[in-house]
């Protein structure tokens, strides 16, 4: 069964350091999403890509977060500098656009702890 | 508004039915979803319902949608200990590029 791959699964860093997360969506899925899930809450969208273009980054803290999907396939989410409040699970998801129900398939997530 | 609300906890006995409830505010929602999250894992799609339907059944799962009251529920029949997890309700808006808005999740605890 096709999966969304994410790495690393766990990352511990000190505040003010830079961190990066990688996501490889299901082959053929043109739409890619990065969600942030703070402990005890539901996921919140950070950024959505359609191929290599950003469709929605309205909730991305652009002073410290950046995301790219240069060739329209895999994607990287970067945080620089990390802050204590960035501790969360970062979830990547992908979907086929125009597929009616637009079912999102999620990866296992990258859990970030900022000390 | 973009609020999706769920009760935080539900505890049931093994073999009983579980009913997890969700309310949403945006009447333009086209699809509504239920996802399951086990500890330390990503979200797994359980089922979804189109907004012009009022019920959908899939094996032990029954989804009921009351569009007038903007209320969605997920019933799990014959709940098992393996069903213990956090369940998220999500809505998709017609005019928001396919993104899903999630509730805060309901933690289901199944006691033997």
Tell me if A67 sits within 8 A of A60, measured CB to CB. yes
pLDDT in tens, B56-95: 999 999 999 999 999 999 999 999 999 999 999 999 876 6
Q: Phi, psi at residue A86, to the nearest 5°?
A: -85, -5
- Residue of B76, B70, B79 whose CA lies nearest to B112: B79
Which residues of chain A have a CB within 8 Å of the CB of B40? 109, 111
Contact at 8 Å (CB) between B42 and A109?
yes
Q: Are B17 and B75 in contact (CB under 8 A)?
A: yes
pLDDT tens profile B24-54: 987 777 899 999 999 888 899 999 999 889 9
Mean pLDDT confidence for A72-98: 94
In chain B, which residues have their Cβ closer than 8 Å to the Cβ of A103? 33, 45, 48
B85-110 average pLDDT score: 88
Strand ranges in chain A using DSSP code E only, listed in sequence order = 5-7, 10-13, 19-24, 31-37, 44-50, 53-56, 65-68, 75-79, 88-95, 105-106, 110-114
- Could you tell me if A31 lies within 8 Å of chain B, comparing CB atoms? yes
**For residues B16 and B84, what is the distance between their CA atoms, to the nearest angstrom?**
13
* Min Cα separation A31/chain B (Å): 9
Do residue A43 and residue B31 have CB atoms under 8 angstroms apart? no
**Which tokens sit at A103?**
């079912």
**Per-residue model confidence (pLDDT) at position B27:** 74
pLDDT of residue B96: 66
The CA-based dihedral angle spanning residues A66, A69, A75, A80, taken in that order and rounded to the nearest 10 degrees? -20
Structure token pair of residue A1 = 């069964």
Tokens of B22: 């969700």
Question: CA nearest B105 in A: which residue?
Answer: A42
Of A42, A95, A97, the CB nearest to B105: A42
């Amino acid at each position: 069964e096709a999966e969304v791959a994410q790495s690393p699964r766990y990352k511990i860093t000190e505040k003010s350091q830079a961190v990066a997360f990688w996501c490889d969506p299901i082959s053929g899925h043109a739409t890619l999403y990065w969600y942030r899930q703070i402990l005890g809450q539901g996921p919140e969208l950070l950024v959505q890509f359609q191929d290599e273009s950003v469709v929605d980054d309205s909730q991305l803290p652009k002073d410290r977060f950046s995301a790219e999907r240069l060739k329209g396939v895999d994607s990287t989410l970067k945080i620089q500098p990390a802050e204590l409040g960035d501790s969360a699970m970062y979830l990547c998801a992908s979907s086929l656009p125009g597929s009616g129900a637009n079912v999102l398939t999620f990866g296992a997530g990258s859990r970030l702890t900022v000390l | 508004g973009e609020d999706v609300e769920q009760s935080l906890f539900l505890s049931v006995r093994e073999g009983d039915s579980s009913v997890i409830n969700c309310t949403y505010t945006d009447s333009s929602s086209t699809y509504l979803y239920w996802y399951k999250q086990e500890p330390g894992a990503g979200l797994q799609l359980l089922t979804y319902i189109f907004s012009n339907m009022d019920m959908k059944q899939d094996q032990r799962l029954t989804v009921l949608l009351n569009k007038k009251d903007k209320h969605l529920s997920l019933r799990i029949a014959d709940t098992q200990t393996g069903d213990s997890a956090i369940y998220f309700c999500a809505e998709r808006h017609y005019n928001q590029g396919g993104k899903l808005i999630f509730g805060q999740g309901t933690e289901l605890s199944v006691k033997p």
